[in-house]
């Protein structure tokens, strides 16, 4: 997976780097406890260390939380600043997740919200179904 978020990665703490690396090795979403299991050999032992690293990675836009699964995935295009609306396609058979952003959906949602004076900070759409391979 090609990543061009070198600048953001440079300023990550050790725990944040470990969490991100563990996520990038798998295309399937990881729960905080999945990550904790993988990172135990690296000396990460407390769930709080993983939660804190995840929160910070989410805030940096390097990781997304999938609310419907209570799990996390590494961002598939972290160099894309225009991440206003993110659409995740989650395969319920193999567990793979692919991430797309779509400017039309973003614009439509923003128009819908601003009509009511609502200011959008974050949009995430999760589609469940079966991927092309399943």
Binding region for Zn ion (CB under 5 A): 75, 91, 93-94, 131, 134
Contacts with 33 (C-beta within 8 Å, 6 or more apart), sequence order = 47
Which lies closer to Zn ion via its Cβ, residue 117 or residue 132? 132
d(CA 114, CA 3): 33
Nearer to Zn ion, 31 or 79 (CB): 79
Spatial neighbors of 35 by CB under 8 A, at least 6 apart, are 19, 22, 23, 50, 54, 72
Segments of 9-122 assigned E as strands = 63-66, 71-74, 85-91, 97-101
Nearest distance, CB of residue 40 and Zn ion, angstroms? 27
Q: C-beta of 41: minimal distance to Zn ion in Å?
A: 28
**Residue 113: CB minimum distance to Zn ion, A:** 20
- Nearer of residues 8 and 91 to Zn ion, judged by Cβ: 91
Q: Which is nearer to Zn ion, 100 or 110 (CB)?
A: 100
Give me the least distance between CB of 130 and Zn ion, in Å please: 6
């Amino acid at each position: 997976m090609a990543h061009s978020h070198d600048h953001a990665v440079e300023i990550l703490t050790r725990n944040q780097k470990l969490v991100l690396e563990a996520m990038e090795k798998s295309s399937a979403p990881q729960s905080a406890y999945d990550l904790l299991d993988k990172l135990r050999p690296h000396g990460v032992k407390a769930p709080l260390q993983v939660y804190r690293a995840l929160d910070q990675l989410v805030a940096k836009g390097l990781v997304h939380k999938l609310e419907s699964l209570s799990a996390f995935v590494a961002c598939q295009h972290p160099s894309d600043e225009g991440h206003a609306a993110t659409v995740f396609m989650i395969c319920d058979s193999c567990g793979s997740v692919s991430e797309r952003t779509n400017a039309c959906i973003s614009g439509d949602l923003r128009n819908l919200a601003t009509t009511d004076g609502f200011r959008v900070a974050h949009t995430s759409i999760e589609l469940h179904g079966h991927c092309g391979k399943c």
